[in-house]
Structure 1
Amino acid sequence: MVAVFFFVFLGIPMARMAAVPLKAADSENQINEGLDATDAISKANAGIKTPLIYGDIAPSKNRNAVPCTATGCTWPKSGSYVYVPVYIAPSYSVAERNVIINGLLSFHSSTCIRFVWKDSSHRDFLYFYPGTGCWSYLGRQGGLQQVSLQSNGCLYHSTVQHEVNHALGFHHEQVRSDRDSYIQVLTQNIVPGQEHNFVKIATNNLGTPYDFNSVMHYNKFAFSRNGQPTLLAKTNPSLDFGRATTMSVNDIARINRLYKC
């Protein structure tokens, strides 16, 4: 049996994680932090057998994948901050680990979310591991909560932020409750059997506008069967969107409003 050692930093913000020495990926395994989430996730998740909904969300352990923030799936706040314990699988390389760490640290500069190392006192925590594909659960599930970021295909800044947003309780932009005022879904171009990924949800939009630049918005060719768009912007059908490589102003505002930062 392989022994697994936890580094314990009880209650200390994950800024301490920055102490992990940075190391560039070798020339044969470059990690591109600039790829948008849609392309990374759709390629990595193509053909995987893991049961997923909306492309990269694991079915909830305890509830339906409705806006779970209304049913208690947010992470608890302590004082001014929301501490989210994490553990990163040791099988990642230093370069791969740094992509995850930097993605997590990006939340610290603009929100009250603070990621901390998981220790023996934490029951609920995010476990980042190189599984098959890129996916997360929606909101806090309780106990060990997997976030799959496979080594070959999911380690991008945008993808880390995208999956962590799911874990914080946020769904995709293109399924939000008011989407019909902004986008048209072209069902004839969707891969058969993938239509469920476009079902609208009664989301709590927290008073923020529909955002084509959200890191949670899939691009216009998501799940296309024929290379034609599956999503069109109603005001400008030629608009290209869903190409964000980092969180937008609205993504940050939603986190801060939901968690009362």
Structure 2
Amino acid sequence: MVVLRWIIPLILVATSLADCNHDRPPIARYGSDDPYDKEEASRVAMQIDELDEDDKQNPWELSGLFEGDIVLDKKVSRNGALKEKYRWTKGIVPYYIAENNFSDEEKQAIRKGLRAIAEQSCIKFRRYRKEDTSWVVFRSNSSGCWSYVGMRPGGQTINLQAPRCIKHGTVIHEALHALGFWHQHSSRDRDKYVRILWENIIPSKKHNFKKCNCTDFGVAYDYGSIMHYTSMVFSKNGKPTIKPLQEALIMGQNFYLSTGDALKLRRMYKRQCSRRRNTQNWEPFSEHFSSMDDIFG
């Protein structure tokens, strides 16, 4: 116990120093401008702050953007974002965590969310370097939990409102958007698996239930996907807005990458990852502070 008392502070200090020592990217081209006006930003922030730990609704569902947490690029259609040029080169995602936006514990939560993706796919996360032309910056200076879909040249933001958005599942969810995932409920074959209860949806939110021409890479519809809406999202009357047509033990969760999510990710990036010599993501994770300099390679 005595040893732990001084080892743990050393781990946190070393992690903080590592964050300060690596390259800092320029202002991201995508997501640096707040997607909300002041009134909407305040409303979104308040809704998320008021979420209880046991609340079944996910914070990203309350983030006030398209389908809750997606920032749409006016120059890129939903179907356009499926093109391979929006996949990360060689399956490698340079990332940067804004230094003054998060506590050391929150930074660790972000890294562990990325680690969960790396462990179940060929995706590799590494610290931003000056020569990178595309990267993700994690920040918390806006309201809500949100991301763009797919890679954007010139840098892009994943916003995680502290502390409610800095949950393991929420980090995974937003990172999967950046990797190219849309929400499961918007898949083109969804009517075979769920019924949208339009009569229970807030009228101004009905556009969030439109289907997209998104490929599923041959992976079956997944009720347990971390990208699936919960049943009560955008309800105007406290009644369900989505009903499964098959018996589902769970529909929408914010805890882990499902088997279907992992399979889809591996198939999505099969070509990109095959272009790099070494597909091993990283060395086995160690809690020792000496390994914190660059966790993901």
What TM-score bracket applies, with the shorter chain setting the length? 0.7 to 0.9
Aligned to 2:286: none
Of 51, 69, 77 in structure 2, the residue corresponding to residue 56 of structure 1 is 69
Measure how far apart 1:61 and its partner are.
Answer: 5.5
- Which amino acid in the other structure matches residue 41 of structure 1? W
Measure how far apart 1:53 and its partner are.
Answer: 1.1
Aligned to 2:289: none
Measure how far apart 1:240 and its partner are.
Answer: 4.7
Aligned to 2:133: 123
* Alignment partners' CA distance in 2, 1:36 and 1:162: 17
Aligned to 1:184: 195
Is 1:83 the counterpart of 2:96? The answer is no
- Which amino acid in the other structure matches residue 259 of structure 2? V
* Alignment partners' CA distance in 2, 1:232 and 1:249: 22
Aligned to 2:83: 70
Pair 174,212 (structure 1): closer, same or farther in 2 beyond 3 Å: same
CA RMSD of aligned residues (A): 2.2
Partner secondary structure for residue 247 of structure 1:
coil
Measure how far apart 1:40 and its partner are.
Answer: 2.2
- For the Cα contact (< 8 Å) 1:127–1:144, is it kept in 2? yes
Pair 142,36 (structure 1): closer, same or farther in 2 beyond 3 Å: farther
Q: How high is the sequence identity, in percent, across the aligned residues?
A: 35
Pair 239,112 (structure 1): closer, same or farther in 2 beyond 3 Å: closer
1:47-97: CA deviations, max 9, x gaps?
x5xxx21111001263012262235211111xxxx2100010112100111
- For the Cα contact (< 8 Å) 1:67–1:204, is it kept in 2? no
Higher helix share: 2
- Which amino acid in the other structure matches residue 114 of structure 1? K
* Alignment partners' CA distance in 2, 1:146 and 1:112: 22
- Which amino acid in the other structure matches residue 234 of structure 2? F
Aligned to 1:42: 61
- For the Cα contact (< 8 Å) 2:183–2:229, is it kept in 1? yes
- For the Cα contact (< 8 Å) 1:66–1:202, is it kept in 2? yes
- For the Cα contact (< 8 Å) 2:57–2:232, is it kept in 1? no
* Alignment partners' CA distance in 2, 1:36 and 1:112: 33
Is 1:225 the counterpart of 2:236? The answer is yes
* Alignment partners' CA distance in 2, 1:115 and 1:224: 37
Aligned to 2:223: 212
Measure how far apart 1:243 and its partner are.
Answer: 2.2
Measure how far apart 1:125 and its partner are.
Answer: 0.4
Pair 36,168 (structure 1): closer, same or farther in 2 beyond 3 Å: farther
* Alignment partners' CA distance in 1, 2:55 and 2:215: 25
Aligned to 1:7: 22
Is 1:96 the counterpart of 2:99? The answer is no
Moved more, 63-72 or 120-129: 63-72
Normalising by the residue count of structure 1, what TM-score does the alignment of the two structures yield?
0.80
Pair 75,38 (structure 1): closer, same or farther in 2 beyond 3 Å: farther
1:187-226: CA deviations, max 9, x gaps?
1111120001100011101000000000000111111111
Partner secondary structure for residue 115 of structure 1:
strand
Specify every segment of 5 or more residues in structure 2 that has no aligned partner in the other structure, as ranges.
1-18, 25-52, 274-297
Higher strand share: 1
- For the Cα contact (< 8 Å) 1:221–1:228, is it kept in 2? yes
* Alignment partners' CA distance in 2, 1:201 and 1:188: 21
Pair 38,167 (structure 1): closer, same or farther in 2 beyond 3 Å: farther
Which structure's CA Rg is the greater one? 2
Aligned to 2:182: 171
- Which amino acid in the other structure matches residue 218 of structure 2? G
Moved more, 55-64 or 174-183: 55-64
Pair 112,257 (structure 1): closer, same or farther in 2 beyond 3 Å: same
* Alignment partners' CA distance in 2, 1:247 and 1:67: 25
Deviating above 3 A after TM superposition, structure 1's stretches of 4 or more consecutive aligned residues are 34-38
